[in-house]
Structure 1
Amino acid sequence: MVKSLPARSEVKIEETWNLQDLFKSEADYEAAIVELENEVDTFAEQFKGRITDPTSVIEALKGYTSIFEKMIPIGTYTSLASSVDQTNDEAQMRDNKFGSTAAKISSKLSFVNSELSELPAEVLEEAQQQSAEFKNYLDEIIRKKPFQLHPEVEKTLAAFSSTFDAPYGLYNTTKMVDMSFDDFEVNGEKYPLSYVSFEGGWESEVDTDKRRAAFDAFSAKLKDYQHTTAKTYDTHLQTEKTMSDVRGYDTVFDYLLFDQEVDRTMYDRQIDLITKELAPHMRKYAKLLQKVHGLDKMTFADLKIPLDPTYEPEITVEESRKYIDDALAIMGDDYLDMVDRSYKERWIDFAQNKGKSTGAFCSSPYGNHPYILISWTGSMEDVFVLAHELGHAGHFYNAHKEQNLFNSRPSLYFIEAPSTMNEMLMANHLLKNSNDPQFKRWVISSIVARTYYHNFVTHLLEAAYQRKVYERIDAGGSVNAGILNNLKRGVLEEFWGEDVDINEGAELTWMRQPHYYMGLYPYTYSAGLTISTQVSKRILEEGQPAVDEWLEVLKAGGTKNPAELSKMAGVDITTEQPLRDTIAYIGEMIDQLVELTEEIESVKN
């Protein structure tokens, strides 16, 4: 049974992350802000209006780098403290206050990019030759030149940055603070409900009556807030559209894909191929779930149930370390040392508490170690989630050691490849070490139900829906709750066909995902998993040489675009072949699940 969550003050300290690695005390944090603001003023005085030649370009960028190296831990500290307890007024106010401070700083520093953009390309190219350290950054300046606005306009836009970010904050406040769930009732007994307990428990509850009742109760509460959430989202969309138009992009898609360094064909291919070619495999998986669980019909509320709930091992945080160490050992001693430090030095926030952000994430502040948020439920699925987040941590742990601040972060298109790679390594390790059909079925169903379902179905269907939303916005339209519900339902019905009943409440799924406030993010999960699936197959077949190449990719950070990084790892994402191979691989795994189920049931009978 799902229990009510404790307050943050009631959880064990060893289950929480240690933010003192960023700042030992509140006084140190406040002093850092004063120091940062002073450095910004001194920098602006020294360089504003004086970035004129290659030498001053390089000197200005050195000072600019120093400022951001100080700013990152401050911003990380405020956002992480806020994310673990949205009900903590002090943490929320601190985060909001720094948002305003960051906007002022951004406005004061906007002259840097404006002055760089106004310089002739030859001056920037000469600066690149004199200092390879800033080559990538200056390449971006040259690439963005056509979309750069007048310096005063850039300064004004930068001053409004916290206002432009407001819809995302409002979305989180609505979701994590205002939205309070009542208990739901099944057969005369009441059960507690929250965002965390639904997504971390009730959604995959084996008891069909409880699972469907929880879904209905959860959806009913979402529905109460649908109009506010839709208005919040529309405000965000209109801001993006206005920015796209003001900067002179042809479409809002071009604006949002620009920083990802991929073109529209790669974006569309990911959505179109998966929507069309993965659907038959996933429908077969849905029918298998229905058969194994003896369901009267397969509904959207049933899609997250485990194939074999009797075989879901429970696991403690401490026990998870051995699984992760064994699975990731192939990555080498330095990588494993990072994993072990993440446990010992409290880089991970495991606690379940009221007001904590849902899902999981990894924050990797430059100059500091990564931080991982997860709500540990004790199921083996958590091990896959943690391996995923440690993939992000391992990526930036390596990139930050090898690259400067502005070279360390790759395109969003590539960002989910290292994380999903670790999930593949975990699955491959578990499969290699057992011949038991039930265990093998459990492992394969875990990778299908979590890794691939999450990244190739949940996030991909978000992307298909999101594309329809942006097409509407691009044509000068707006959205409200009714429109968003219809678009979401249409995407779900198209993918699942007649095999899954898209029951009432499923259309409100758009309300659950913060990714919509992060540009064209959802489709990148399937892009990253396509790359990691192909690389993990190489590692299985070729061993150490493939691992060494992958580690070089991680160390390269953002010095190459996604196609170049993938090519380093032996995958050509400029063609549709890797995606087709990955879809076929998912189909093979689902076929294996059908065969293993038949084998297990024949033994039972």
Structure 2
Amino acid sequence: MAKKQLTRAEVPEALTWNVTDIFTTEADFKKAIQQVEKQIVEIQANSKHMTESATQLLTLTELLYESEELLMKVYGYAARVNDGDTADPHGNDLMNQALLIVNKWEAAVSFYDPKITQLSAAQLDQFLDDKPELKRYEFNLRRIQEQAAHTLTPAEEKLLAQLQPAIDDASDISSKLDDADLDFGMIKDENGEEVQLTNATASEFATSADQDMRMRASKQVAKAYRSMRNTFGATLKSHVHAQNILATIRHFDSARQMNLADQKIPEAVYDTLINTTHEHLDLMHDYYAFRKAYLGLDHMYQFDRHVPLVADAKLSLAFEEGKKVTMAALAPLGKDYQNYLQEEFEQRWIDAAENKGKRSGGYEDDVYGVHPYILLNWNDIYDSTSTLAHESGHALQSVYTDKAQPFWYSQYPIFIAEIASTLNESLLNHYMLEKYADDPQIKAFILTQDVDNFIGTVYRQTLFAEFEHFIYTEDAKGTTLTPDLMADKFNGLFKEYNGDAVTDLPWKDDTWAQIPHFYYDYYVYQYATSKAIATALADDIISGKPGALENYKKFLSAGASNYPVEIVKQAGVDVTKRDYLDQAFKIFGEEVEELKRIL
């Protein structure tokens, strides 16, 4: 990739995604919007009679999914154009047009789920018998119907929908406070120059070789959050309390039960994750003790945990080389997988080059009936190749799902969404460790990446999940969630998870206030379960365990055709038991020992 940041017009076409695969011309995009407008009118006209007969239900259901599939193409086209250059007014206009029709469609179909829940089980059974074509949608219909006990009357649902913006205010206020109002001030860097301290520069300083630099940056960030702790505390308390009230209104025993119910995740999965992680804290304690000794630190604080053990691995991969490495690394997934990957690489599914105005980071977005799209901002470091492998995991899960499932079962649930992506990361790291087996520096660099990633994704997210459940439980008991209560609990967990090698900070800390995920409602535990599942599955595939690859392909093809627990079982993992976690922690421990041996 070029070192100079290009304008969008300067990016070679081969490094951009091909939006004409969705719509050949912009006129086709506008025609699609007009078509969705017509379908919305038709949906509304049929809504009152939807549950009067099997024929009416079939007609409305077919129209709903037909319009949604076209709507996703409209959104996918606009998002690709917009994200390529977010400063381009034309792309902004397309995105606004897409969002307007998306919002209009969502409002128009909001009656559907409540009406399904009003059908009795006997009525639905009769409809399925009367119109066998309805059986194509049976899983979705029954999944909606199973929420009947927690669905309110249409009038009450409408009232809650009107209240939703107010319910979301706490999250919005916290986000604006964090992103816009919080000022970390200026700081002197290692060269004595005054620079603005931001989240981005704070992350850079966290990897500085100078412990004093790391400490000053961390202390200054902590001071800023400390100054706003009462506001952050009030917004989080408000959000948690609102969710607990919603759980009561919807007849759930708890907010956790409410948030896990839609995908039928047993609450025991959550508890098993926390309990099993606690049993393996000794592995992380051992790693941090090694880190402290290797870095020669008298005291290792939490801000020292990200200092590179290998400062310069000289591992630079241009985009073409990154694709070759990814292709080779994912060879264990079979020739069919590689054929799809080759198509992804050659048919411009990827927007690779960084350019002015381009959306930052990386993501994958599937357009059903077309193909997935991947956004990257390539910069030749190893992390870019890792991101390519990660996003390709998402993309090829979409490919397998789209080939096996109809549109209405193509959007695989969040609980399993990060398994394919993180499994690809594991395969990439395994390949690189073998490729550079005779280069201790690169091998140590990759192992450190893998170990730290596991800690960040499994241990840290489990800590967050444990804290999150604590604050919800305390609020439900009537306890006031004060900043002191939350700080004491969070810091206590931090101490327990990190172990004795990590010294308590020499200042009062409110790290709990820095985590936006606590507004995502029992979401973070899924990062940990997905990483552990992926680690175990990758190990099975690499070791050639009989049936492992075949079962994994079934998992990739399942989409949303069943509940997540059952889909993961197809891959050979039972998340209601702890075996997959024990296997993942065992692999983590082996990598720590290998890293210690090399260094």
Letter of the 1:190 counterpart: E
Larger displacement relative to structure 2 (385-394 or 96-105): 96-105
On the 8 A contact 1:86/1:176 being kept in 2, the answer is: no
On the 8 A contact 1:103/1:158 being kept in 2, the answer is: no
On the 8 A contact 2:349/2:372 being kept in 1, the answer is: no
Identity of aligned residues (%): 23
The equivalences for 1:468-479 within 5 A come to 468-476=470-478, 479=481
> Hey, what does 2:145 align to over in structure 1?
142
> Hey, what does 1:246 align to over in structure 2?
249
Q: What is the TM-score normalised by the length of structure 1?
A: 0.85
Q: Indicate the SS of the match to 1:364.
A: strand
> Residues 434-455 of structure 1, C-alpha deviation per residue, up to 9 Å, x if partnerless?
43261433332221112x1221
d(CA) in 2 for partners of 1:9, 1:179: 32
d(CA) in 1 for partners of 2:488, 2:25: 49
1:190 aligns with 2:194: yes
Q: Indicate the SS of the match to 2:147.
A: helix
Tell me the CA shift for residue 150 of structure 1. 1.0
On the 8 A contact 1:43/1:63 being kept in 2, the answer is: yes
> Residues 82-131 of structure 1, C-alpha deviation per residue, up to 9 Å, x if partnerless?
87889999988987897676555434322222222112212323444613
> Hey, what does 2:382 align to over in structure 1?
380
> Hey, what does 1:56 align to over in structure 2?
56
On the 8 A contact 1:290/1:297 being kept in 2, the answer is: yes
d(CA) in 1 for partners of 2:16, 2:77: 14
On the 8 A contact 1:110/1:151 being kept in 2, the answer is: no
Q: Which among 492, 501, 505 is matched to residue 490 of structure 1?
A: 492
Letter of the 2:192 counterpart: G
On the 8 A contact 1:360/1:372 being kept in 2, the answer is: yes
Tell me the CA shift for residue 257 of structure 1. 0.7
> Hey, what does 1:118 align to over in structure 2?
118
Q: Indicate the SS of the match to 2:111.
A: helix
d(CA) in 2 for partners of 1:580, 1:257: 23
The equivalences for 1:55-454 within 5 A come to 55-75=55-75, 102=102, 104-128=104-128, 130-131=132-133, 132-158=135-161, 172-178=175-181, 182-186=185-189, 188-191=192-195, 193-199=197-203, 201-223=204-226, 226=229, 228-274=231-277, 276-311=278-313, 313-343=315-345, 345=348, 347-348=350-351, 351=354, 360-376=362-378, 378-436=380-438, 438=440, 439-450=442-453, 452-454=454-456
> Residues 248-277 of structure 1, C-alpha deviation per residue, up to 9 Å, x if partnerless?
111111100112321111111102221x12
> Hey, what does 2:517 align to over in structure 1?
515
d(CA) in 1 for partners of 2:233, 2:28: 40
On the 8 A contact 2:354/2:378 being kept in 1, the answer is: yes
Larger displacement relative to structure 2 (254-263 or 229-238): 229-238
Q: Indicate the SS of the match to 1:314.
A: coil
Tell me the CA shift for residue 306 of structure 1. 2.4
On the 8 A contact 1:111/1:155 being kept in 2, the answer is: no
Show structure 2 runs of 5+ residues with no match. none
Tell me the CA shift for residue 410 of structure 1. 3.6
Tell me the CA shift for residue 503 of structure 1. 2.6
> Hey, what does 2:38 align to over in structure 1?
38
Tell me the CA shift for residue 48 of structure 1. 2.0
d(CA) in 1 for partners of 2:31, 2:175: 29
Larger displacement relative to structure 2 (545-554 or 337-346): 337-346
d(CA) in 2 for partners of 1:232, 1:97: 33
Q: Indicate the SS of the match to 1:49.
A: coil
d(CA) in 2 for partners of 1:337, 1:525: 29
Larger displacement relative to structure 2 (20-29 or 226-235): 20-29
Q: Indicate the SS of the match to 1:261.
A: coil
On the 8 A contact 1:99/1:162 being kept in 2, the answer is: no
d(CA) in 1 for partners of 2:187, 2:82: 29
Equivalent residue pairs, number = 590
The change in CA–CA distance for 1:9 and 1:212 in structure 2 (over 3 A counts) is: farther
d(CA) in 2 for partners of 1:278, 1:396: 34
The change in CA–CA distance for 1:590 and 1:520 in structure 2 (over 3 A counts) is: same
Q: Indicate the SS of the match to 2:316.
A: coil
Show structure 1 runs of 5+ residues with no match. 598-605
The equivalences for 1:522-601 within 5 A come to 522-542=524-544, 545-597=547-599
Tell me the CA shift for residue 492 of structure 1. 0.9
Larger displacement relative to structure 2 (330-339 or 54-63): 330-339
> Residues 408-458 of structure 1, C-alpha deviation per residue, up to 9 Å, x if partnerless?
2344332222121111111221223343261433332221112x1221122
d(CA) in 2 for partners of 1:506, 1:532: 37
On the 8 A contact 2:255/2:472 being kept in 1, the answer is: yes
d(CA) in 1 for partners of 2:83, 2:219: 27
On the 8 A contact 1:351/1:375 being kept in 2, the answer is: yes
The change in CA–CA distance for 1:13 and 1:237 in structure 2 (over 3 A counts) is: farther
The change in CA–CA distance for 1:595 and 1:504 in structure 2 (over 3 A counts) is: same
The change in CA–CA distance for 1:116 and 1:258 in structure 2 (over 3 A counts) is: same
On the 8 A contact 1:107/1:157 being kept in 2, the answer is: no
Q: What is the TM-score normalised by the length of structure 2?
A: 0.85
Q: What root-mean-square deviation, in Å, do the aligned CA atoms of Structure 1 and Structure 2 show?
A: 3.7
d(CA) in 2 for partners of 1:124, 1:96: 39
On the 8 A contact 1:76/1:365 being kept in 2, the answer is: yes
d(CA) in 2 for partners of 1:230, 1:90: 41
> Residues 515-548 of structure 1, C-alpha deviation per residue, up to 9 Å, x if partnerless?
3333222111221122222221221222784223
Tell me the CA shift for residue 283 of structure 1. 1.5
On the 8 A contact 2:117/2:146 being kept in 1, the answer is: no
Q: Indicate the SS of the match to 1:427.
A: helix
On the 8 A contact 1:106/1:158 being kept in 2, the answer is: no
The change in CA–CA distance for 1:126 and 1:391 in structure 2 (over 3 A counts) is: farther
d(CA) in 2 for partners of 1:581, 1:210: 38
